């Protein structure tokens, strides 16, 4: 495996960052998770734009152009002979010292990893997930905006631990108002009476690239989409539920907090949108 770090390529065992990098010391940086299908980077412009937005929001200057970053990603994918896989694109504040002052980090660091990924077992895509609501809330939007895809994922990790203790591979996280926000790493959709429902950006979510892609596919298919505040009640009485994410793609949910969703099996709209998404990735 060849890993890109600041313009050079290293073997996996030799790919290292400084212990004084603020990405390691403080989670000071941003990242993107991007899929590769058929050797092509999926929705690369959308991911790059979001990375730049996240960096701007935390006063981080990415030390290259968007065009150069795309070129380096494509080179990394080619060197690793990735046909269907995953890119982890990371920009840290860079090397500083043990103090918080970001001004002491002179040069941001760019890391590109291209590899395979399998977030959930194949049978879960066929039979569906069981998820639980956790006590760990989504980050308060008045603190660090959840729309920033930062390196600090501690709240999601704590939520994931709660889910694993309950025997679930994914969890449902609420915002500071007690509304549904998202999962530990995925966006959430409900289907009710033929309409597709999902939390709006101001619910404290990361606006997923796959989420937006599925919304577009649904509208093109004539399915009404509503971005509205949702509660656990809405989830419990939904006809269908599914999650989206770059790593997860589109995966059905058949049980939430012990309650079966619909008939307890992946529903027709979920299946339709999953098929449309797969076709899009193969086009």
Catalytic residues: 149
Q: Is the dihedral of CA 257, 258, 259, 265 positive or negative?
A: positive
Other C-beta atoms closer than 10 Å to the C-beta of 1 total 15
225 HSE (CA, 13 A, CB side)? 20
CA angle, corner 206, sides to 92 and 216, nearest 5? 125
Two tokens, residue 64: 């290259």
Identify the CA nearest to 139 among candidates 122, 120, 160, 156: 156
For residues 1 and 115, the answer to whether their CB atoms sit within 8 Å is yes
CA-to-CA distance for 210 and 233, rounded, in angstroms? 25
DSSP 12: G
CA-to-CA distance for 9 and 65, rounded, in angstroms? 19
For residues 131 and 22, the answer to whether their CB atoms sit within 8 Å is no
């Amino acid at each position: 495996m060849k890993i890109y770090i600041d313009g050079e390529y290293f073997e996996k065992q030799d790919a290292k960052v400084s212990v004084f990098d603020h990405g390691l010391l403080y989670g000071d940086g941003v990242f993107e998770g991007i899929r590769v299908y058929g050797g092509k980077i999926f929705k690369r412009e959308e991911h790059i734009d979001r990375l730049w937005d996240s960096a701007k929001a935390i006063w981080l200057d990415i030390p290259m152009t968007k065009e150069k970053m795309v070129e380096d990603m494509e080179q990394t994918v080619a060197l690793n002979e990735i046909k269907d896989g995953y890119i982890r694109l990371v920009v840290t504040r860079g090397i500083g010292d043990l103090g918080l002052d970001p001004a002491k980090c002179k040069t941001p660091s760019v890391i590109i990893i291209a590899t395979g990924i399998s977030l959930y077992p194949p049978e879960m895509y066929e039979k569906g997930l069981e998820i639980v609501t956790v006590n760990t809330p989504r980050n308060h939007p008045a603190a660090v905006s959840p729309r920033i895809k930062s390196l600090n994922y501690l709240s999601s990790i704590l939520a994931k631990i709660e889910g694993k203790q309950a025997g679930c591979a994914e969890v449902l996280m609420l915002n500071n108002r007690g509304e549904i926000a998202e999962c530990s790493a995925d966006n959430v959709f409900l289907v009710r009476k033929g309409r597709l429902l999902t939390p709006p950006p101001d619910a404290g979510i990361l606006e997923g690239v796959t989420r937006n892609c599925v919304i577009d596919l649904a509208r093109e298919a004539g399915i009404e989409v509503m971005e509205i505040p949702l509660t656990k009640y809405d989830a419990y009485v939904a006809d269908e539920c599914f999650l989206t994410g770059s790593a997860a793609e589109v995966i059905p949910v058949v049980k939430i907090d012990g309650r079966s969703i619909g008939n307890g099996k992946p529903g027709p709209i979920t299946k339709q949108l999953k098929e449309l998404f797969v076709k899009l990735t193969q086009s």
